[in-house]
Every structure is written in C-alpha cells, then in structure tokens.
C-alpha cells in the first residue's frame, strides 16, 4: 500500500527560454519567420511576390 505512481507533469517552459519573436506579414497578417520578414520587406513571400510582380509590370510599361 501507499504506492505513489503519479507522474509529475512538468510544465513545458521551453518556449520561454527560446525567445522567438513573432513576425507578421504587413499585408495579409499571416505569421512569418524572421528571415521572411527581413528578406521580403515585412511581408510574407506571397504578398512580396505580388508586389514584385506589380512593380515589374510597371517597370515593363516604363521600358516599353
């Protein structure tokens, strides 16, 4: 008698140690990682791609 088999559940505090800042796309608001945030001018690659496409279209119009 008196067997204590309760497992002590440790609260996962790993997320506190790895301070991951979250970044969000400034256009659609979806979560992006830091690389995307810096490379794509605060946008996710989809919105960035949209903008680049629009810009390049404008550039093409200027050239032609």
Long-range residue pairs from 5-10, CB within 8 A, at least 24 positions apart, any chain: none
Question: Looking at beta carbons only, is 31 or 58 nearer to Zn ion?
Answer: 31
28 is an interface residue for Zn ion by CB under 5 A? yes
Q: Rounded to whole angstroms, what are the CA distances from 2 to 8, 13, 37, 50?
A: 17, 31, 56, 66
Q: Is 37 an interacting residue with respect to Zn ion (CB under 5 A)?
A: no
From the list 9-17, 33-41, 42-50, 52-60, the region that binds Zn ion by CB under 5 A is 42-50
Q: Which residues bind Zn ion (CB under 5 A)?
A: 25, 27-28, 44, 47
């Amino acid at each position: 008698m008196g067997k204590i088999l309760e497992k002590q559940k440790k609260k996962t505090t790993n997320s506190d140690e790895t301070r991951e800042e979250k970044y969000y796309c400034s256009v659609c608001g979806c979560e992006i990682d830091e690389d995307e945030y810096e490379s794509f001018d605060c946008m996710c690659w989809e919105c960035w791609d949209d903008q680049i496409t629009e810009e390049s279209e404008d550039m093409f119009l200027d050239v032609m």
